[in-house]
Amino acid sequence: MAGAFNFEMAEKIYKILDAAAWADAKRAGVFAGAPVDLKDGYIHFSTAAQLRETAARHFAGVTNLVLVAFDAEALGPQLKWEPSRGGALFPHLYAPLDPARAVAEDALPLDPDGAHQFPASLP
């Protein structure tokens, strides 16, 4: 159901972003979005199931990344689930993000083969 939050869909959602940009956002108390977010008019997120493909498609070989987790329900009605890749629903936030809402953050290093190493806690 596009546009409406379905709590069954994902308890946590994730943002992959440059570690320095995240540090800046935490200092400023607000994250308006990465350049692609600003261009599109919303902040892109992924579910745990979508993360690996998101990283491979949009962040291949990129270093100095951080993976930040958020409670989807806590982001409120500005979070919309909209079709993207092949019709899959992705979470998009149509508001600035308060970094204090993050429930976890992890470095997202590259392994020797150049793939991102995700935290073991992810499914």
Give the pLDDT of the chain (123 residues) as one tens digit per residue.
344 444 444 599 999 999 999 999 999 999 999 999 999 999 999 999 999 999 999 999 999 999 999 999 999 999 999 998 688 899 999 999 999 999 999 999 999 988 999 999 887
Answer yes or no: is 5 within a domain: no
Answer yes or no: is 86 within a domain: yes
Range of the domain at 53: 12-107
Answer yes or no: is 80 within a domain: yes
Separation CA 15–CA 119 (nearest Å): 14
Answer yes or no: is 3 within a domain: no
Answer yes or no: is 93 within a domain: yes
Answer yes or no: is 25 within a domain: yes
Answer yes or no: is 118 within a domain: no
Closest CA to 39 of 2, 86, 92, 116: 92
Answer yes or no: is 84 within a domain: yes
Measured from the Cβ of residue 19, the count of other Cβ atoms closer than 10 Å reads: 16
Assign residue 32 the CATH number of its domain.
Answer: 3.20.170.20
**Taking the alpha carbons of 58, 92, 99, 121 in that order, is the dihedral positive or negative?**
negative
The pTM of the full predicted model, rounded to 2 decimals, is 0.89
Q: How many domains, the chain?
A: 1
Separation CA 16–CA 5 (nearest Å): 21
Q: Are 64 and 108 in contact (CB under 8 A)?
A: no
Separation CA 46–CA 114 (nearest Å): 21
